[in-house]
Amino acid sequence: MKASIFTIVSIISVIIKKCKSNVTLCTLMNNFINSTNIPNKKEGVSVKFKNMDEIDQQILGLLSQNSRMSYIDIGKSVNLSRVAVKSRIDAMEKEGIIEQYSIIINPQKVGRTVSAFFDIEVEPKCFYQTAAELAAKEQVTDIYQMTGSSKLHVHAVMELNDDLEKFLREEIYVMPGIVSIESNLIVSRIKTRKGIRV
């Protein structure tokens, strides 16, 4: 069934390419393709949110690819004015949908060649104190509370293997309440994503 639908869509796409001069027909065909909600094979399946309209989701998608994209360029992509785009983005910021705008730094390019994950089991009475102390450490980039017996999943980056050994010996092992630590070095970064894709 899926193969048949993709075949139909492919045929319609060919028709659209051959009839660009007929604006009405092209519009109808595009509307039909959009209404099928069939994911683009090249783009993959993206997350859809029931509490957001399609335009807001398109805006978030554009910002997730390039957070420096101007209101004017976004407006051209979603067929809205600059003012309308700004209004929608301001509203999403106010509602907390957009928490912040940031950049992703490649640790290896700035000398942080050692990247590791730690699974740390902590005594329940020391859990939040340990999490706070870890969060204050400069080497630590991310901390997650995991299900199970009071576990923290921690990511840290350092310059050298010696720094990793020193970090464990002087920063982690001496912390009170730690039951066990499992550490794993990252061999290569295949995919990195901040937040969720829309």
Q: What is the pLDDT of residues 72-91, one digit of tens each?
A: 999 999 999 999 999 999 99
Three-state SS at 194: coil
Beta bridge partners of residue 115, listed in sequence order: 157
Which value, to the nearest 10 degrees, does the dihedral of the CA atoms of residues 40, 46, 51, 53 take? -40
Q: How far apart are CA 161 and CA 155, in angstroms?
A: 15
Q: In whole angstroms, what is the distance from residue 179 CA to residue 121 CA?
A: 5
Kindly calculate the radius of gyration of the chain based on its CA atoms and give it in whole angstroms: 24
Q: Name the one residue in this structure whose structure tokens are 């807001």.
A: 56
What is the mean predicted confidence (pLDDT) over 112-119? 84
The model's pTM is 0.51
Give the angle subtended at the CA of 181 by the CAs of 178 and 185, to the nearest 5°: 145
Q: What average pLDDT does range 177-195 have in this prediction?
A: 82
In this predicted structure, the answer to whether residue 197 has a pLDDT above a threshold of 80 is no
Each residue of 158-185: pLDDT tens digit?
888 888 899 999 999 999 999 999 999 8
Of the ranges 15-24, 42-51, 58-67, which one carries the lowest mean pLDDT score? 15-24
| pLDDT value of residue 171 | 92
Of 154, 128, 132, nearest in space to 142 by CA: 154
